[in-house]
Structure 1
Amino acid sequence: MADLIDTIVYAGRLKNKVALMSSSSGGVFIALSDFFLENGNAVAAAIYNYDNHTTEFQMILDKKQQERAKGSKYMQSKPGDIYRETYHWLKENPEKKLLFVGMGCQSDGFRKFSEIKGIRDRVYIVDIICHGSPSPKLWREYAKSIERKDGKITYLTFKDKRNGWKFPTAYVMVGGQEYSIRDYVKVFYNRCMLRPSCYECPYATTERKTDITIGDFWHIEETIPDFYDPNGNSLFLIHTNQGGELFEKIKNDLDCRPSNTTQCWQPNLEAPTKKSEQREEFWNDYQKKGIDFVMKKYGTVSMKTKIKNKLLKIMRGVRTK
């Protein structure tokens, strides 16, 4: 059984630098899913669908499917039939195990399901530190607006690390060209379009009932400066003995360092994201004037901020040369 333990904290990232650069953070999902797939087990995680611009949980059984599941997704994912599919797969493969990776609410829901079905000892449950989930309808309309103007979206990333982990680039590919989606990202982070339940999230804490919590190790350059890597740093919060066993199995693929809940502090490990004072205005504008209007009004970066960000990137380039 997955017995709860006092939370153990690690900072970590992939030793494989090529794989690290292809990840959003420190490559933890790659390390975890590699371990399961290489041993003939399965992974359940969210995959983006370019045909209808939705994100839905799917069973992952090979490297090609794993590639589609990589990367941060700034929209709510649908569970679909994943509970039924994982249960049936485990019944058909009695010697195998399964890794489930989702947001706090999704992963805790799967934990409860696995306990009811008597499969908890065969599943490893990982949840991701979450800022909140916007309505999937907003992203879908945003993506369709791009396609009406420019053409079919063939690639999406919210955290390309060409400028380093701390300065991610968000864009889509259309017809072989990049189109920035920073307006959508800005609206995501200004807290206007999150679902109402996210402002009251009970999972915004370091104490959880999943096996492991993962996420970006923000402020590591301040709290563990000698371990900081500009190309990505991940956080592990280990909550169960089963989570500890899993971490030990992937540890050789990582550069890692013991830490604590003080060093890894970040807002969504202490409290839910606060509701924006502009939220009601945002939704009224959206209902009346549509997605393009709200993206322009709430997603435009001011000239002052653009200059500040440019200077920060220049300063970072000087420091790392």
Structure 2
Amino acid sequence: MKAGVITFHSAHNFGASLQTWALQKVLKNYKIDASVINYHPSIIDDLYDPLSGKSGLKKELARLNLKRTNPRSLIRFNNYTNFIKNSFNLLGDYSTYKELEAGNVDLDAYIVGSDQVWNSEHIGGFDPAYFLNFAKPGALKIAYAASLGKDYILPIYHDKIRESLETFTSISIREKSGKAAVKQLTSNSVSIVLDPTLLLPREDYEEIKTVPDIKEKYIFVYMMEHNPDVVTFANRVSKMTGLPIIQRRPNKLFKNEIGTCYTSAPGDFLGLIENAEYVITNSFHGTVFSIVYETPFVSMLHSNTGSRTIDLLNTLNLESHLLYNIEDFTDFEKFEIKNVEKLRSRVLELRRASLLFLEDALRLSDKYKQVDCPTNISRNECYGCFACKEICPTNAITMIKDAEGFYYPVVDEDRCTDCGACAKACIRRDNHIIDYQEEYPKVYSVMNKEEEVRMKSSSGAIFPELARYVIDEKKGYVVGVKFDENMKAVASIANNMEDLKAFYGSKYVKSEFDGIFPQIKQLLKDGHTVLYSGLPCECAGLRSYLRKDYDNLIICEIVCHAAPSPKILEQYMEYLKKKFGSKVKNITFRDKEKGWLIHKATMVIEFENGKELRINARRNNYFRAFLNDFIARPSCNKCEYTFTNRVGDVTIGDFWGIRDIDPDMFDDKGVSLLTINNEKGSKVWNNVKDRFTYKTSDMTSAFTKNHIAASPFRLERLEIFDKLDETPIDDLLLGYNDLKQQETNES
């Protein structure tokens, strides 16, 4: 992919240069062919070029004069010019928008930002370059951390900006204070992201950082806008500490001043902040790099652009570093970053979110890739329900595991006849969600009267009685999930109560059910009653594959939290085998010996050598990753089968929250929620309800503590799967176990 950034890269100040370098570096880290579009209009260049407006002999004479009268201005100009040439992958050379437009810049993605690229005062009103009007049709148009420099957009520019923003594929800005003004002019979503300089860890800046040759300790005063209060305060701090001052401006301002960075290149600026004892600044990027290098600092606001510093410090819980009135300064604690670990954690959290925006904007994630199948859906939409594979009349589709351990369809082009059967079967096209008839759904809280049976089940033990009814009374078959001899969760078929026991209990992993749909269809065609139990997407897949309803089919849908990666469970099983010297033969994720509630549940791991491990399930590294949605299939973040969107004849699950909703139904041994979704479900329930204690409920109560929306996407998921094959699995999951990390921090 080729991507170009357009920003104030030619501005000769540390912030403009470093934010450009940082964004280019981030793009290169993603293996993108990144460039900086070399658009440098005179409204920017004239501010910094000491020879602006001169040419030929007049320019040479002016240069000679400057060498004599103000040599530092030429040194500064040359240092910045060299940094720009050597550090940026410059694309083209355009000093006017007309030249840029005529340049036909051909890229896959165009990115505007960061810096105040949408500040009308800086860009001369409305400059179409900074709204990507020159971009190639069909390419990605992205605003990354664009800044208004204020909280409004002048009405005179609304129409032009509105027209431009509607063509963007992704929009983000840097300050919360500007979001309302931008959102007013676009129907696109507007995100808040970090300045590019905060997207990189400090280690990445080693590439350009230089260490100042200064032997003594010092205070670094970085003053963008001259402010007498900054001067007074810095002099006071210098006197109190006995430390001299290094500052930005060319002329001496401070009583105990030993140097200036007026002619320094951006790398020198980094070294000056890192090695300072204290930083006093009214600059946004002076504040940013004090945070990056964790240098004690105080921020005094710039009169025009102070809002961005306030937003940043509030976001990082560092607002105590703001000094509004120098008379309020009482001691040096105001400089100190009191909880560095908490700051690092917060920066990392915001960095993850900002990088995720950029990944999504650039369509880097696998989720934007199409599945290799004529269903024409993206990978993040694919449930892996097998319907397309099983229905293909030419066996052209194979389900293949990806690097995360999830199955996706892959088509053999030589066998494919483009019949369209797979597309018709895709449950993203037809989700088979039940259109409730009058009086449905009926909702109950349910407990099996046989306590022994209930104690062996995950919740209130509805499934065993449904299965008993089908096997004993209907002489039929039950489809469920069991662990095979290799501890893989696989769909299987049972026609007796002894084999059925392997289906008891939640498996908390995406199961394998290749070939099970055709077997079910044959049983149904042969006249047998079949009870199918599975996750909602799997139930929908079966309905789609069968293409019609069968009177002798009962679909029991299980309320789903999310479907974890089989690969992660497989690696976890191997870890347990090595640690305990024996192969795992069974796992009960939620044994009720100490209670039904999650925080009481015991995870029981049985080994072939007869040993048994009993641990707190909620604190287990694997179980915790599952609960936190760190290891789920991508489609779980776009699941349609939540709350009232049911697909089974009956739906069963844990009735979480029943202790508060109906204390009389709670004994800490398990309560199920049951929804009867249609007449078939009612008939089945009427045949088994005498085996239960139950009460009528409602959907709102039943889903108080169950998912009413798709599982949220967690940024930690990206990191876990990125490290999956490089880090030992228990160490990897431990690193994201929030409960154990909390214990470590408290100890």
Q: Which category describes the TM-score, using the shorter chain as reference length?
A: 0.7 to 0.9
In structure 2, the CA distance between the partners of 1:274 and 1:267, relative to structure 1 (3 Å rule), is farther
Instruction: Compute the RMSD of aligned alpha carbons.
Output: 2.1
Residue 59 of structure 1 corresponds to 493
> Pairwise mapping of residues 134-153 of structure 1 onto structure 2 (< 5 A)?
134-150=564-580, 151-153=582-584
Contact preservation (8 Å) 1:111, 1:125: no
In structure 2, the CA distance between the partners of 1:19 and 1:59, relative to structure 1 (3 Å rule), is same
In structure 2, the CA distance between the partners of 1:100 and 1:158, relative to structure 1 (3 Å rule), is same
Specify the code of the residue in structure 2 equivalent to 1:111.
R
Residue 261 of structure 1 corresponds to 699
Aligned partner of residue 585 in structure 2, secondary structure: strand
Aligned partner of residue 652 in structure 2, secondary structure: strand
* Residues in 2 aligned to 1:23 and 1:183: alpha-carbon distance in whole angstroms: 23
Contact preservation (8 Å) 1:192, 1:279: yes
The yes-or-no answer on 1:104 pairing with 2:542 is no
* Residues in 2 aligned to 1:169 and 1:70: alpha-carbon distance in whole angstroms: 16
Residue 220 of structure 1 corresponds to 658
Residue 45 of structure 1 corresponds to 480
Q: Which moved more, 1:204-213 or 1:248-257?
A: 204-213
The yes-or-no answer on 1:170 pairing with 2:603 is yes
In structure 2, the CA distance between the partners of 1:130 and 1:15, relative to structure 1 (3 Å rule), is same
* Residues in 1 aligned to 2:498 and 2:454: alpha-carbon distance in whole angstroms: 17
Aligned partner of residue 56 in structure 1, secondary structure: strand
What do residues 135-189 of structure 1 show as CA deviations (whole Å, max 9, x unaligned)?
1111011101211222021221001001111121112112332224621101111
Specify the code of the residue in structure 2 equivalent to 1:123.
L
Deviation at 1:66, TM superposition (A): 0.5
The yes-or-no answer on 1:161 pairing with 2:592 is yes
Richer in strand (by share): 1
Specify the code of the residue in structure 2 equivalent to 1:257.
K
Match of residue 89, structure 1, among 523, 538, 552: 523
Specify the code of the residue in structure 2 equivalent to 1:297.
G
What do residues 5-62 of structure 1 show as CA deviations (whole Å, max 9, x unaligned)?
321101101100111111111001111111111121111111111x222111111111
In structure 2, the CA distance between the partners of 1:305 and 1:126, relative to structure 1 (3 Å rule), is farther
Deviation at 1:266, TM superposition (A): 3.4
Residue 23 of structure 1 corresponds to 457
* Residues in 1 aligned to 2:674 and 2:684: alpha-carbon distance in whole angstroms: 11
Residue 240 of structure 1 corresponds to 678
The yes-or-no answer on 1:78 pairing with 2:512 is yes
Specify the code of the residue in structure 1 equivalent to 2:480.
A
Contact preservation (8 Å) 1:3, 1:241: no
What do residues 282-303 of structure 1 show as CA deviations (whole Å, max 9, x unaligned)?
2222233241321221237338
* Residues in 2 aligned to 1:209 and 1:177: alpha-carbon distance in whole angstroms: 41
* Residues in 2 aligned to 1:247 and 1:229: alpha-carbon distance in whole angstroms: 23
* Residues in 1 aligned to 2:610 and 2:502: alpha-carbon distance in whole angstroms: 19
* Residues in 2 aligned to 1:148 and 1:107: alpha-carbon distance in whole angstroms: 36
Deviation at 1:3, TM superposition (A): 8.1
% identical equivalent positions: 28
* Residues in 2 aligned to 1:290 and 1:111: alpha-carbon distance in whole angstroms: 40
In structure 2, the CA distance between the partners of 1:230 and 1:100, relative to structure 1 (3 Å rule), is same
Q: Which moved more, 1:209-218 or 1:296-305?
A: 296-305
* Residues in 1 aligned to 2:743 and 2:656: alpha-carbon distance in whole angstroms: 21
* Residues in 1 aligned to 2:495 and 2:645: alpha-carbon distance in whole angstroms: 30
Specify the code of the residue in structure 1 equivalent to 2:538.
Q
Contact preservation (8 Å) 2:483, 2:586: no
Match of residue 129, structure 1, among 539, 542, 559: 559
* Residues in 2 aligned to 1:128 and 1:209: alpha-carbon distance in whole angstroms: 10
* Residues in 1 aligned to 2:685 and 2:649: alpha-carbon distance in whole angstroms: 10
What do residues 88-109 of structure 1 show as CA deviations (whole Å, max 9, x unaligned)?
22233x2x31100000100111
What do residues 175-234 of structure 1 show as CA deviations (whole Å, max 9, x unaligned)?
332224621101111211111111110101223232011100011111111222210100
Match of residue 708, structure 2, among 247, 270, 284: 270
Residue 282 of structure 1 corresponds to 720
Residue 200 of structure 2 corresponds to none
Contact preservation (8 Å) 2:595, 2:668: yes
What do residues 258-280 of structure 1 show as CA deviations (whole Å, max 9, x unaligned)?
11112212354410110112121
Aligned partner of residue 251 in structure 1, secondary structure: helix
Aligned partner of residue 194 in structure 1, secondary structure: coil
Contact preservation (8 Å) 2:458, 2:670: yes
Deviation at 1:63, TM superposition (A): 1.4
Specify the code of the residue in structure 1 equivalent to 2:541.
G
Q: Which moved more, 1:285-294 or 1:248-257?
A: 285-294
Residue 316 of structure 1 corresponds to none
* Residues in 2 aligned to 1:305 and 1:20: alpha-carbon distance in whole angstroms: 33
* Residues in 1 aligned to 2:568 and 2:627: alpha-carbon distance in whole angstroms: 14
In structure 2, the CA distance between the partners of 1:250 and 1:3, relative to structure 1 (3 Å rule), is farther
* Residues in 2 aligned to 1:241 and 1:305: alpha-carbon distance in whole angstroms: 51
Contact preservation (8 Å) 1:42, 1:98: yes
Aligned partner of residue 700 in structure 2, secondary structure: coil
Specify the code of the residue in structure 1 equivalent to 2:667.
D
Aligned partner of residue 126 in structure 1, secondary structure: strand
Aligned partner of residue 38 in structure 1, secondary structure: helix
* Residues in 2 aligned to 1:61 and 1:149: alpha-carbon distance in whole angstroms: 37
Contact preservation (8 Å) 1:32, 1:250: yes
Q: TM-score, normalised by structure 2?
A: 0.39
Q: Which of 1 and 2 has greater Rg?
A: 2
Aligned partner of residue 173 in structure 1, secondary structure: strand
Aligned partner of residue 735 in structure 2, secondary structure: helix
Specify the code of the residue in structure 2 equivalent to 1:138.
I
The yes-or-no answer on 1:295 pairing with 2:723 is no
Residue 192 of structure 1 corresponds to 630
